[in-house]
Chain A
Amino acid sequence: MNLASSNSISAQPGRTIRFRIKRCDGPGKPSYWQAFSVSPEAGANVLSCLQQIAANPVTADGQRTTPVVWDAGCLEEVCGACTMVINGKARQSCSCLVDQYAPNDGDEITLEPMSKFPVVRDLWVDRSRMFHNLKRVKAWVPIDGTYNLGAGPRESHEQQERRYALSTCMTCGCCLEACPQFLPEANANKWDTSFVGAQVLGQAHLFNLHQTGEQLASDRLDVLMGQGGVSDCGNSQNCVKVCPKHIPLTESIAALGRAVAVHSVKRWFTSK
């Protein structure tokens, strides 16, 4: 927390700022740029400015256009929906304060859809690949059923804290956008052989840490041992730098790297 970042001190009231937005009308359509002038209200963030644009979609040079499309949910940086590339960096737009990004009259903010996922329209991308990968690594605890069978396993405070940190992953995709090895794959058939990325590695690690979840550890490691698995990580460590929830993703990658090594030796000896 830093007093210097206080908006009430630095931002110029009554200013007009510009949004340069990379737009696209739909899959397979060309991208194009449009600029919009916005007079941000007090405390505005990128989403509230997009709401203004949607209510009156006129470009900076006075052309009527269609409202910009974007994805949003909680607006509290906990659902992950509103992730986009802002001034070149992926982050949630709800917590992106305009007073900090564009404090002066005439300042410009650039918005682009994430580049690693197919665009649905404008700033809205299709992240179903992330959910598909969760299925592949069986990112769940294999409980016997929902009937009453008493409490779950006891757990130390430290273990709970480790799991909680991993479990705050909101599937936003920032780590994948920043990763040099995670490639956009328009063809869903390539998803299973292309690098899975930090998001799903963190989740695989999370469930391997749970006493019951561990029962599927072998299945998870089988997936992560193959092509596109943990060994495809290039160790740029970008993921951990951009994660909005400060999840220690590189620790998960290291832990899984070790587990996969042991697992593959075991597999070799038992030739399963």
Chain B
Amino acid sequence: MAQQRVIVVGGGLAGLAATIRLAESGIGVDLFSMVPVKRSHSVCAQGGINACNEVARQQGYSEYEHFDETIYGGDFLADQPPVLEMANFAPKIIDLLDRMGVPFNRTNEGFRDLRLFGGSLFKRTHFAGATTGQQLIYALDEQARRWEAEGRVAKYEFWEFLWPVIEDGRCVGIVAQDMRTMQIRAFRADAVVMATGGCGLVYGKSTNSVICTGAAAARCFQAGVWYGNPEMIQVHPTAIPGADKLRLMSESARGEGGRVWVPRKKGESRRPKDIPEAERYYFLEERYPKYGNIVPRDIATREIFQICVSEGMGVDGENQVYLDLSHKDPEYLTRKLGGILEIYEKFVGVDPRFEPMKIFPAVHYSMGGLWTRYERGSYQPASPLPGHKSGSRAPIGAEIGQGMQPGSPINMQTNIDGLYAFGEVNFAYHGANRLGANALLSCIFDGLFCGKSVENYVRDVVASKGQADQVPQGAYDRVVAQEEAKQKRLMDTVGRGEVAPEINPYQIHKELGTEMTAACTVVKSGPRLEQALKRVEELKERFARARLSDSAAWTNQSFSYARAVGDMLTIAEAIVKGSAVRKESRGAHYRTDFPERDDAHFMKTTVAKFDPASAQVSVELVGVDASLVQPRKRDYTGKSAGGSVEKKAAASPAAV
């Protein structure tokens, strides 16, 4: 019997954690990534990683409260048992990363330091400088390299995932393409783990890396994997608009006294410093006199969006508003905000201590993703408990196995046997809105905890059904032929005449991004979504006629990009349709025509399915497992009234 092998697609935190766990168990891993794994998008995470810790515990915090916060922050859309397991497991992850050498910030006594973060009143966020994600992925990258040196892991870097090979309802490998030689070939595997992250590029510009097209997830979706809650896309209120991407500007800029405004006069051409106070519209302060500029993030996001998109009052007629710190003492600003202000200066070339920053909300994170299963753990209360009172005694301890059954082969497995989805690419943990510093956690949790599930699947299930090397070659050849045909169709368009904007993939993507950002981010409505769906259909029709400009058979980047545009259109359709079906407002999803949460009808997962025959996306609603804690109204305004700035900031649920 040949050595059993697993393919992991994606080398960010989730993929690397899975790789290490599997390699350690004696299973060979083939790790596929479009970039050297050390350059994956996980490097961009700044803030930190959440876990209950000794200090917080003695102050009254618990893993259970972390679980409750995550469910509440997600507006009760997540299935609850996996979230409980993740919160209970979290402290072990921090310890492991610590042992791997992550330079976590330290206290005077040499313990790991902690910071306050959105959605909690306790310090429960561990961090390494301002680049926690980078530090975590480097630690995992190093461990994966160690296994690579021992021959247990084979890396396929600069390889692009094209399609899963599914035979008899079971995933037995993938087809991938070498981005340099352009060779398309099949790889056999006893199980496949998708760990390919988010889909920010569907929105054109976002806070995501250029590789976050969602194409890999879209290809699985088209191959029959279900997609959960596609409409749940998190938008961060303050990002720096850029010609190429939108970079985050931390919320602390507002916490330290930053004022948000636009000129009262549309089409104002004066420089901001020349506009007198009376002619500035401090719209957050006027509309929310009590909280002013430090309203919770979803409100800030919505208001900035309204001012620009609906009211057309953006600075210079563009989608941007001023975030102004220039009234503060420059020395004070350097001391308190030096690092983040340097980022602005580095990428914009303007010193925000002397000139207002221009900012706009940006698509940041996809709570939705490939639909996954799990096996419930041992904690099954007779009826769901009321919401947890912060700082009170937890109803249960933090033993492993209460939320999910450890090692169950179905944990984070998609509806296709043997095909798993880990990290941001699945829909499992964040419901309708993700709390800051929970993303790094869910990625590593999947890799470590559910990595064991993959191991068991490979050992037990495959043993009964046979290894992938027994599968007839035809199953692989068919998928290779399908992908070669797809490539040929696109490549044959080169040199067939002028690449008019209408059929230029770059232009199609740009228009898709503009439309999705306008219709499907902060503020949605039925009629606008219908319009967006028509627009996506039109773009799909244009894409079918798309023309390319490079026929090179070596390192053809623009071909690979064009192919991904087609996949982004499919994900876009799922996002729009999910948004249309969800006739309520919940978490990141806000409908002007249905402004309230409607638990009776919509405390449900939207499950999108792709019909290959008609190439159409359909969406159905499936009940949520809310058996652990009762849903309650999500309201961050009450508690923090009169509290410190820090506390109010802490109570607003979103990611950094």
Residues of A at under 8 Å CB distance from B?
1-3, 5-8, 25-26, 40-45, 47-48, 51, 54-57, 64, 66-67, 69-70, 72-81, 94-95, 97, 99-100, 120-121, 124, 127-128, 131, 134-135, 138-143, 145-146, 148-152, 154-157, 159-160, 163-164, 167-168, 170-171, 207, 210, 212-213
Q: Known contacts being A6-B351, A25-B554, A78-B131, is A143 close to B43, with CB within 8 Å?
A: no
**A141 to B96 Cα, complex, angstroms:** 11
* Residues of chain A with a CB closer than 8 A to B247's CB: 75-76
Q: Do B180 and A157 touch across chains, with their CB atoms under 8 A apart?
A: no
Asked if B241 lies at the interface with its beta carbon under 8 angstroms from chain A, I say: yes
Most chain A CB atoms below 10 A, which of B139, B142, B149, B346: B142
* Residues of chain B with a CB closer than 8 A to A47's CB: 244
Instruction: Pick 16 A–B contacts, CB within 8 A, sort by A.
Output: A43-B242, A43-B347, A56-B506, A74-B39, A74-B44, A95-B346, A97-B347, A131-B36, A143-B96, A146-B20, A148-B95, A155-B110, A160-B106, A164-B129, A168-B134, A170-B43
Q: Do B557 and A69 touch across chains, with their CB atoms under 8 A apart?
A: yes
Q: Do B41 and A74 touch across chains, with their CB atoms under 8 A apart?
A: yes
* Residues of chain A with a CB closer than 8 A to B148's CB: 135
Stretch at the interface among B97-105, B222-230, B406-414: B97-105
- For residues 333 through 370 of chain B, which have their beta carbon under 8 Å from a beta carbon of chain A? 334, 341-343, 345-351, 353-355
Q: Do A140 and B110 touch across chains, with their CB atoms under 8 A apart?
A: no
Q: Do B555 and A45 touch across chains, with their CB atoms under 8 A apart?
A: no
Shortest distance between the CB of B338 and any CB in chain A (Å): 8
**A171 to B347 Cα, complex, angstroms:** 21
Q: Determine which of A80, A151, A168 lies in contact with B131 in the assembled complex, contact meaning CB atoms within 8 Å.
A: A168
* Residues of chain B with a CB closer than 8 A to A41's CB: 243
* Residues of chain B with a CB closer than 8 A to A168's CB: 129, 131, 134
Q: Do A164 and B103 touch across chains, with their CB atoms under 8 A apart?
A: yes
Asked if B522 lies at the interface with its beta carbon under 8 angstroms from chain A, I say: no
Contacts A1-B342, A6-B351, A121-B180 aside, 9 further interface pairs with beta carbons under 8 A come to: A3-B354, A7-B348, A48-B242, A66-B558, A79-B35, A79-B209, A127-B36, A143-B143, A145-B24
Residue of chain A at shortest CB distance from B334: A1
- Chain B 235-270 interface 0/1 with A at a Cβ cutoff of 8 Å (1 = within): 000000111110100000000000000000000000
Q: Do B20 and A75 touch across chains, with their CB atoms under 8 A apart?
A: no
Q: Determine which of B40, B100, B346, B561 lies in contact with A141 in the assembled complex, contact meaning CB atoms within 8 Å.
A: B100
* Residues of chain B with a CB closer than 8 A to A51's CB: 244, 506
Q: Do A25 and B349 touch across chains, with their CB atoms under 8 A apart?
A: no
Q: Do B110 and A48 touch across chains, with their CB atoms under 8 A apart?
A: no
Q: Do B44 and A146 touch across chains, with their CB atoms under 8 A apart?
A: no
**A134 to B385 Cα, complex, angstroms:** 51
**A120 to B271 Cα, complex, angstroms:** 45
Q: Determine which of A1, A160, A171 lies in contact with B353 in the assembled complex, contact meaning CB atoms within 8 Å.
A: A1
* Residues of chain A with a CB closer than 8 A to B211's CB: 73
Report, nearest first, the 5 A-B pairs whose CB atoms are least far apart. Answer: A152-B98, A48-B243, A55-B506, A7-B349, A140-B142
Q: Do B349 and A99 touch across chains, with their CB atoms under 8 A apart?
A: yes
Residue of chain A at shortest CB distance from B101: A141
Q: Do A78 and B43 touch across chains, with their CB atoms under 8 A apart?
A: yes
Asked if B622 lies at the interface with its beta carbon under 8 angstroms from chain A, I say: no
Q: Determine which of A8, A95, A138, A139 lies in contact with B350 in the assembled complex, contact meaning CB atoms within 8 Å.
A: A8
Q: Known contacts being A55-B504, A67-B550, A69-B557, is A42 close to B243, with CB within 8 Å?
A: yes
Q: Known contacts being A73-B41, A78-B44, A120-B555, is A141 close to B99, with CB within 8 Å?
A: yes
Asked if B627 lies at the interface with its beta carbon under 8 angstroms from chain A, I say: no
Q: Do A5 and B349 touch across chains, with their CB atoms under 8 A apart?
A: yes
Q: Do B351 and A155 touch across chains, with their CB atoms under 8 A apart?
A: no
Q: Do A124 and B555 touch across chains, with their CB atoms under 8 A apart?
A: yes
Q: Do A75 and B349 touch across chains, with their CB atoms under 8 A apart?
A: no
Q: Do A81 and B39 touch across chains, with their CB atoms under 8 A apart?
A: yes
**A99 to B349 Cα, complex, angstroms:** 8
Q: Determine which of B24, B131, B243, B351 lies in contact with A44 in the assembled complex, contact meaning CB atoms within 8 Å.
A: B243
**A43 to B247 Cα, complex, angstroms:** 13
Shortest distance between the CB of A42 and any CB in chain B (Å): 7
**A138 to B139 Cα, complex, angstroms:** 13
Shortest distance between the CB of A196 and any CB in chain B (Å): 16
**A269 to B109 Cα, complex, angstroms:** 40
Residue of chain A at shortest CB distance from B246: A75
Q: Do B348 and A151 touch across chains, with their CB atoms under 8 A apart?
A: no
Shortest distance between the CB of A66 and any CB in chain B (Å): 4
Asked if B216 lies at the interface with its beta carbon under 8 angstroms from chain A, I say: no
Q: Do B106 and A156 touch across chains, with their CB atoms under 8 A apart?
A: yes
* Residues of chain B with a CB closer than 8 A to A94's CB: 244
Asked if B210 lies at the interface with its beta carbon under 8 angstroms from chain A, I say: yes
* Residues of chain A with a CB closer than 8 A to B95's CB: 148-152
Q: Do A74 and B244 touch across chains, with their CB atoms under 8 A apart?
A: no
Q: Do B110 and A73 touch across chains, with their CB atoms under 8 A apart?
A: no
Q: Determine which of A3, A26, A163 lies in contact with B554 in the assembled complex, contact meaning CB atoms within 8 Å.
A: A26
**A26 to B271 Cα, complex, angstroms:** 48
Most chain A CB atoms below 10 A, which of B107, B157, B209, B247: B209
Q: Known contacts being A6-B351, A154-B111, is A67 close to B345, with CB within 8 Å?
A: no
**A160 to B20 Cα, complex, angstroms:** 25
* Residues of chain A with a CB closer than 8 A to B135's CB: 164, 167
Shortest distance between the CB of A73 and any CB in chain B (Å): 5
Asked if B128 lies at the interface with its beta carbon under 8 angstroms from chain A, I say: yes
* Residues of chain B with a CB closer than 8 A to A213's CB: 101
Q: Do A146 and B96 touch across chains, with their CB atoms under 8 A apart?
A: yes
Q: Do B549 and A135 touch across chains, with their CB atoms under 8 A apart?
A: no
Q: Do B39 and A73 touch across chains, with their CB atoms under 8 A apart?
A: yes
Q: Known contacts being A139-B142, A140-B142, is A66 close to B100, with CB within 8 Å?
A: no
Q: Do A163 and B103 touch across chains, with their CB atoms under 8 A apart?
A: yes
Q: Do B350 and A6 touch across chains, with their CB atoms under 8 A apart?
A: yes
**A25 to B552 Cα, complex, angstroms:** 9
Q: Known contacts being A74-B43, A75-B209, A142-B146, is A152 close to B349, with CB within 8 Å?
A: no
Q: Do B243 and A72 touch across chains, with their CB atoms under 8 A apart?
A: no
Q: Do A54 and B506 touch across chains, with their CB atoms under 8 A apart?
A: yes
Q: Do B349 and A6 touch across chains, with their CB atoms under 8 A apart?
A: yes
**A76 to B362 Cα, complex, angstroms:** 15
Q: Do B101 and A210 touch across chains, with their CB atoms under 8 A apart?
A: yes
Asked if B21 lies at the interface with its beta carbon under 8 angstroms from chain A, I say: yes
Q: Do B244 and A151 touch across chains, with their CB atoms under 8 A apart?
A: no
Q: Do B134 and A170 touch across chains, with their CB atoms under 8 A apart?
A: yes
Q: Do B351 and A3 touch across chains, with their CB atoms under 8 A apart?
A: yes
Asked if B540 lies at the interface with its beta carbon under 8 angstroms from chain A, I say: no
**A170 to B111 Cα, complex, angstroms:** 26
Q: Known contacts being A66-B550, A78-B131, A164-B103, is A121 close to B555, with CB within 8 Å?
A: yes
* Residues of chain B with a CB closer than 8 A to A163's CB: 101, 103
Q: Do A55 and B110 touch across chains, with their CB atoms under 8 A apart?
A: no
Shortest distance between the CB of B553 and any CB in chain A (Å): 9
Residue of chain A at shortest CB distance from B400: A148
Shortest distance between the CB of B557 and any CB in chain A (Å): 5
Shortest distance between the CB of B561 and any CB in chain A (Å): 8
Residue of chain A at shortest CB distance from B133: A78
Shortest distance between the CB of B295 and any CB in chain A (Å): 27
Q: Do B355 and A146 touch across chains, with their CB atoms under 8 A apart?
A: no
- Chain B 18-55 interface 0/1 with A at a Cβ cutoff of 8 Å (1 = within): 00110010000000000110111101100000000000
Shortest distance between the CB of A163 and any CB in chain B (Å): 4
- Chain B 104-126 interface 0/1 with A at a Cβ cutoff of 8 Å (1 = within): 11111111100000000000000
* Residues of chain A with a CB closer than 8 A to B561's CB: 54
- For residues 454 through 499 of chain B, which have their beta carbon under 8 Å from a beta carbon of chain A? 499
**A246 to B597 Cα, complex, angstroms:** 49
Q: Do B105 and A160 touch across chains, with their CB atoms under 8 A apart?
A: yes
Asked if B542 lies at the interface with its beta carbon under 8 angstroms from chain A, I say: no
Q: Do A207 and B242 touch across chains, with their CB atoms under 8 A apart?
A: no
Shortest distance between the CB of B158 and any CB in chain A (Å): 8
**A124 to B180 Cα, complex, angstroms:** 10
**A157 to B215 Cα, complex, angstroms:** 42
* Residues of chain A with a CB closer than 8 A to B345's CB: 1, 5
Q: Do B101 and A66 touch across chains, with their CB atoms under 8 A apart?
A: no
* Residues of chain A with a CB closer than 8 A to B343's CB: 76
Residue of chain A at shortest CB distance from B349: A7
Q: Do A151 and B350 touch across chains, with their CB atoms under 8 A apart?
A: no
